[in-house]
């Protein structure tokens, strides 16, 4: 994450996220459904979704940059950043509209802060923190590889602990998910991830075919 994004993140009061985690545990009060807006801009897709505290996705929206980057032969960070900037507001508004809620109805805003392309992460973080400041909402920073690991719990009943293997363009991680934000790292690649390797093989093949 670059210095701009780091400075933005430092401006958030960490006590707000702690309040969100603890408030649902208060006894003697009728449970009210809490809604969280999630925003993702870690690489080349701009995504947003509204999820309730039971794990139900009320609405989501996605803008994919795939066609643009295919023409360039790979993801160019500054291009990805500009496309995020052009589309993030529309994506968030669509997710809220499909969900039938407004920002004022939200209990918190969660956003990917690492790992990922620094320029892309900056767009989502800056947009999110503007909403947090404007509407005085708690902010939840998200580690997007941990989020990948926990996604299965949205669709299946999986108890902690469980073993998870994460394979992506930039990561290869074997870990035990012991709880939300509690992971035991068993191993990871020491050089490049499978996605990196496949990209290099593809580019190498293209160079050989031209020679």
Cα(36)–Cα(93) distance, integer angstroms: 14
pLDDT of residue 133: 97
Q: Are residues 169 and 97 in the same domain?
A: no
Q: Are residues 96 and 163 in the same domain?
A: no
Quick: pLDDT tens for 107-126.
999 999 999 999 999 999 99
Cα(138)–Cα(142) distance, integer angstroms: 13
Using CA of residue 97, residue 102, residue 108, residue 110, what is the dihedral sign?
positive
CATH code of the domain containing 69: 3.30.420.40
Q: Are residues 72 and 127 in the same domain?
A: yes
Tokens of 160: 């902690």
Q: Are residues 102 and 53 in the same domain?
A: yes
Q: Any bridge partners for residue 187, and if so which? A: 174
Note whether residue 91 is domain-resident. Answer: yes
Note whether residue 150 is domain-resident. Answer: no
Q: Are residues 21 and 112 in the same domain?
A: yes
In the listed set 90, 115, 142, which residue is the last one of a domain according to the structure?
142
In the listed set 113, 142, 171, which residue is the last one of a domain according to the structure?
142
Domain of residue 211 covers: 159-211
Q: Are residues 56 and 135 in the same domain?
A: yes
Q: Are residues 110 and 207 in the same domain?
A: no
More confident residue, 72 or 78: 78
Cα(27)–Cα(44) distance, integer angstroms: 43
Give the SS3 label for residue 128. Answer: helix
Q: Are residues 131 and 47 in the same domain?
A: yes
Cα(9)–Cα(7) distance, integer angstroms: 5
Cβ count within 10 A of residue 199: 16
CB 69, CB 143: distance < 8 Å: no
Taking the alpha carbons at both ends of the chain, their separation in whole angstroms is 38
Note whether residue 147 is domain-resident. Answer: no
Note whether residue 80 is domain-resident. Answer: yes
Average pLDDT over residues 181-193: 87
Give the SS3 label for residue 63. Answer: strand
Alpha-carbon distances of 73 from 53, 59, 64, 176, rounded to whole Å: 40, 32, 16, 35
Number of domain units in the chain: 2
Q: Are residues 26 and 79 in the same domain?
A: yes
Note whether residue 154 is domain-resident. Answer: no
Note whether residue 186 is domain-resident. Answer: yes
Confidence of residue 207 (pLDDT cuts 50, 70, 90): low
pLDDT of residue 15: 42
Note whether residue 151 is domain-resident. Answer: no
Q: Are residues 137 and 163 in the same domain?
A: no
Note whether residue 149 is domain-resident. Answer: no
Q: Are residues 109 and 39 in the same domain?
A: yes
> Checking DSSP bridges between strand 57-64 and strand 45-52, what pairing results, if any?
antiparallel
User: Does the pLDDT of residue 91 top 50, yes or no?
Assistant: yes
Alpha-carbon distances of 179 from 15, 149, 150, 159, 184, rounded to whole Å: 20, 11, 9, 9, 10
Q: Any bridge partners for residue 102, and if so which? A: none
Cα(92)–Cα(87) distance, integer angstroms: 9
pTM of full prediction above 0.75: yes
Give the SS3 label for residue 117. Answer: coil
Q: Are residues 47 and 89 in the same domain?
A: yes
């Amino acid at each position: 994450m670059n210095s701009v994004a780091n400075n933005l993140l430092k401006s958030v009061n960490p006590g707000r996220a702690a309040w969100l985690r603890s408030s649902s545990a208060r006894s003697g009060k009728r449970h009210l459904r809490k809604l969280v807006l999630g925003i993702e801009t870690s690489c080349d897709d701009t995504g947003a979704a509204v999820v309730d505290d039971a794990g139900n996705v009320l609405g989501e929206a996605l803008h994919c940059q795939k066609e643009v980057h295919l023409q360039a032969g790979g993801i160019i960070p500054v291009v990805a950043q500009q496309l995020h900037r052009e589309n993030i507001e529309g994506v968030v508004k669509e997710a809220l509209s499909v969900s039938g809620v407004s920002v004022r109805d939200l209990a918190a805003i969660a956003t990917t802060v690492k790992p990922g392309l620094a320029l892309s992460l900056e767009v989502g973080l800056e947009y999110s923190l503007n909403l947090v400041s404007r509407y005085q909402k708690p902010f939840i920073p998200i580690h997007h590889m941990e989020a990948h690991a926990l996604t299965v719990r949205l669709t299946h009943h999986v108890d902690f602990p469980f073993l998870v293997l994460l394979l992506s363009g930039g990561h290869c991680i074997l870990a035990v998910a012991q709880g939300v934000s509690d992971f035991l790292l068993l191993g990871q690649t020491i050089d490049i991830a499978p996605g990196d390797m496949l990209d290099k093989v593809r580019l190498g093949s293209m160079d050989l075919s031209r020679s």
